[in-house]
């Protein structure tokens, strides 16, 4: 099952609305975006001269006009990779800046993010330095060189506040770069150089996007699929290129009714059911039934589905985690079973107490995602995966543990598995390349970070009632997160509306995670113990369906 970062206080929210027509409001705009554009002439759209092997900028940073919502007063910025290679033919990047804003531009803070490239690690081969190949100035070389002591400066530029790992620094413009409004309608420009080939590294997204095919039932109660990195990379190679030590699956159980036969080895709580949602397997040694079906000492895979500390073929390890040298496939298989379900044989089953749960269309619901394992052991959810449900009410669900690919026990129950959602692309960006975190000394976005699922004992989530708005022609309400843990939790907090019905949409959002829309609670950068924060959001429901969703919460950002 999958591991998640965040917490689900209530299993689901059920609402019923009707609206005849709807309109969308302002879409969310990210302060730092990435796009692709080819530029060649030295114009405001390409502010760089020809240098060495380059005829144009390799990267163009454009300041977007102040006042454009939700840009702060100093503006926002976009980052464009043009396709030009390193000007030294090895590793260094020519960077251009365009002030398309409304105020003079005095400085930018640039970063490649934690674990990113040392873009400020200057070593003498800047645009005004010497070619590492010839030992001579570049041909061509910018007129007027040198412009500063490092050799990486352009006209009127300088560097300061460089971090110890050289991933972050401030670029100052003196004189300030004028905006178009004070420059006869032409935006002011500047250029300089940075270390490393910022755009050359293989992006993690190209390795993992489309790498997990839609699962297929391997027999009606069994679901299985596999992660195979693109471009022929091994699991180990793909992990390194994505900034991880390995990959795994993380499975979140978002619905499991009472009575429940799931008894955790830890003994607390005595049985597992929702709400709140929980990770599969649970912490403390997994489930008691696994002690006799493959895990004599307990299943300690938490917070992952497969235990990354066990190798395929290892004695007593039924898991098929392809993390051996040269492994190219990470397999997934599950066959959940619950004899407590409607129609099941609950007699004599521990936890069922001879009773059956009410008949529910989707009694057992799951979110299964591909995750990266960080060097700290934490999981980064890539948003690639699938949602599914099972109504299988058999007693066994398969020989051995549910994680292996053994066939199911025939005739042990009725029902099967249905896949409801598949997400094939990630929001995760690695390497970070370069991003803008401050303009004129004022922060415009949080430094790049990765998301982490928050579990039930960390964060609780509650939703308010919803009221119809004649302005938006939708229903407006709020969502609140509360820190239930014993330590502070850093934000921002992202609440994914998992399993939202088709036809129902969230107003003012165009982006998704794991295929579902999400809401950002940005009012609190950090939640102290017991502290709460909330955010407003609206729903459009032209089909007047009953709305059931699971609010899954993550800390950090999805890019």
CB atoms within 10 A of CB 41: 8
> Looking at residue 24, what is its pLDDT?
26
Of 2, 16, 31, nearest in space to 520 by CA: 31
CB atoms within 10 A of CB 267: 10
Tokens of 303: 């917070």
> Looking at residue 322, what is its pLDDT?
46
β-pairing verdict for 246-255 and 278-279: antiparallel
> Looking at residue 6, what is its pLDDT?
29
3-state secondary structure 191-227: EEEECCCCCCCCCHHHHHCCCCCCCEECCCCCEEEEE
3-state secondary structure 238-271: HHHHCCCCEEEEEEEEEECCCCCCCCECCCCCCC
Average pLDDT, integer, range 85-102: 91
CB atoms within 10 A of CB 418: 15
Domains and CATH numbers, the chain: 31-201+431-444 (no CATH), 204-263+278-426 (no CATH), 448-555 (2.60.40.290)
> Looking at residue 205, what is its pLDDT?
83
Q: Cα separation of 378 and 393, whole Å? A: 34
Of 241, 148, 152, nearest in space to 202 by CA: 241
* pLDDT tens by residue, 508-520: 666 788 989 888 8
* pLDDT tens by residue, 492-543: 788 898 888 877 888 866 678 898 988 888 766 788 899 998 888 888 877 7
* pLDDT tens by residue, 271-288: 999 988 899 999 999 999
- Model confidence at 63, in pLDDT bands (50, 70, 90)? confident
Contact 539, 549 (CB under 8 A): no
* pLDDT tens by residue, 377-400: 889 999 999 999 999 998 765 555
Q: Range with the lowest mean pLDDT among 253-267, 358-372, 511-525?
A: 511-525
Contact 104, 176 (CB under 8 A): yes
pLDDT(419) > 90: yes
Is the omega angle on the peptide bond into residue 492 within 30 degrees of 0, that is, cis?
yes
Its pTM surpasses 0.85: no
Of the chain, the percentage scoring pLDDT greater than 90 comes to 37
């Amino acid at each position: 099952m999958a591991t998640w970062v965040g917490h689900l206080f209530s299993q689901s929210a059920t609402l019923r609305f009707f609206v005849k027509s709807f309109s969308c409001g302002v879409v969310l705009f990210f302060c730092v975006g990435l796009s692709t554009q080819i530029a060649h002439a030295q114009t405001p759209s390409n502010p760089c001269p020809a240098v060495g092997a380059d005829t144009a900028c390799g990267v163009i940073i454009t300041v977007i006009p102040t006042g454009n919502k939700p840009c702060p007063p100093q503006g926002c910025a976009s980052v464009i990779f043009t396709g030009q290679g390193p000007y030294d033919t090895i590793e260094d990047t020519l960077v251009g800046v365009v002030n398309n804003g409304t105020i003079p531009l005095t400085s930018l803070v640039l970063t490649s993010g934690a674990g990113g490239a040392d873009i400020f690690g200057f070593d003498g081969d800047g645009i005004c330095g010497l070619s590492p190949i010839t030992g001579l100035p570049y041909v061509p070389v910018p007129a007027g060189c040198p412009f500063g002591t490092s050799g990486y400066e352009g006209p009127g530029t300088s560097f300061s506040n460089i971090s110890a790992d050289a991933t972050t620094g401030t670029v100052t413009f003196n004189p300030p770069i004028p905006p178009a409004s004070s420059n006869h309608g032409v935006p002011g420009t500047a250029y300089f150089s940075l270390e490393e080939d910022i755009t050359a590294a293989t992006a993690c997204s190209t390795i993992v996007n489309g790498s997990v095919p839609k699962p297929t039932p391997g027999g009606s109660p069994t679901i299985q699929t596999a992660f195979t990195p693109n471009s022929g990379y091994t699991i180990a190679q793909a992990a390194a290129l994505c900034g991880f030590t390995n990959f795994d699956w993380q499975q979140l159980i978002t619905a499991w009714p009472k009575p429940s036969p799931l008894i955790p080895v830890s003994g607390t709580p005595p049985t597992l059911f929702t709400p709140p949602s929980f990770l599969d397997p649970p912490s403390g040694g997994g489930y008691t039934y696994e002690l006799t079906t493959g895990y004599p000492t307990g299943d300690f895979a938490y917070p992952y589905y497969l235990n990354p500390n066990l190798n395929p073929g290892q004695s007593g390890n039924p898991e098929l985690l392809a993390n051996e040298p040269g492994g190219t496939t990470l397999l997934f298989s599950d066959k959940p079973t619950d004899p407590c379900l409607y129609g099941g044989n609950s007699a004599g089953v521990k936890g069922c107490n001879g009773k059956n749960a009410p008949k529910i269309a989707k009694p057992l619901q799951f979110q299964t995602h591909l995750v990266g394992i960080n060097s700290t052991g934490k999981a980064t959810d890539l948003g690639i995966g699938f949602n599914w449900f099972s109504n299988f009410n058999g007693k066994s669900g398969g020989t051995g543990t549910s994680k292996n690919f053994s066939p199911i026990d025939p005739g042990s129950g009725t029902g099967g598995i249905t896949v409801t959602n598949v997400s094939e692309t990630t929001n995760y960006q690695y390497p970070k390349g370069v991003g803008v975190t401050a303009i004129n000394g004022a922060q415009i976005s949080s430094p790049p970070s990765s998301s982490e699922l928050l579990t039930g004992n960390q964060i609780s989530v509650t939703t308010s009632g919803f009221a119809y708005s004649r302005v938006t022609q939708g229903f407006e309400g709020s969502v609140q997160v509360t820190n239930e843990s014993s330590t502070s939790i850093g934000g921002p907090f992202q609440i994914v509306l998992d399993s939202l019905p088709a036809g129902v949409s969230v107003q003012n959002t165009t982006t998704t995670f794991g295929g579902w829309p999400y809401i950002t609670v940005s009012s609190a950068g950090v939640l102290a113990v017991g502290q709460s924060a909330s955010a407003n959001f609206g729903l459009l429901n032209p089909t007047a369906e009953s709305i059931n969703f699971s609010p899954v919460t993550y800390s950090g950002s999805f890019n």
